[in-house]
Amino acid sequence: MESDTLTASESIPKAELSASAVTEAKKKFDTANMIILAIVSVLGMGLVYLFAGRSLRPIHNLSHMISAITDDDLRKRIPYENRNDEVGQLGQSFNIMLDRLEKSFSQQKRFFANAAHELKTPFI
């Protein structure tokens, strides 16, 4: 009767890997990692672009509103009522500055009007 027990060398096949097989596997692994890195990088840049654009949109809108205000029409104001963030505070500060400018321009116009009137009227 033959023995049903196998020796260790007969039961476990030896893994024979040649140097070329290891090199080929490493190349495939490196290629896959480079592709994954490229995909993740492109997706990351796209997400950063979207989030940065969204977060800077209020500043862009504020800039357009400010550039529409001229020295001929200082009565315009920046709407900020529903904003409790930095952009709202900036709009409020800008409106306060516009109030001061409007007051100064009006005082200057009154002064020049009074000076012109006095220069035209002879002293008696």
Residue 89 has φ and ψ, to the nearest 5°, of -65, -40
**pLDDT at position 26:** 93
Q: At what angle do helices 86-120 and 19-67 cross, to 10 degrees?
A: 30
Provide the sign of the torsion angle of the four alpha carbons 23, 28, 31, 36, taken in this order: negative
Q: Can you tell me the distance from the alpha carbon of 70 to that of 23, in angstroms, rounded to the nearest whole number?
A: 70
Which pLDDT score is estimated for 9? Answer: 52
pTM tops 0.85, yes or no: no
Q: How far apart are CA 27 and CA 22, in angstroms?
A: 9
Question: What's the pLDDT at 6?
Answer: 53
pLDDT in tens, the chain (124 residues): 455 565 555 555 555 668 888 899 999 999 999 999 999 999 999 999 999 999 899 889 889 988 888 878 888 888 877 778 888 888 888 999 999 999 998 899 899 888 888 888 766 5
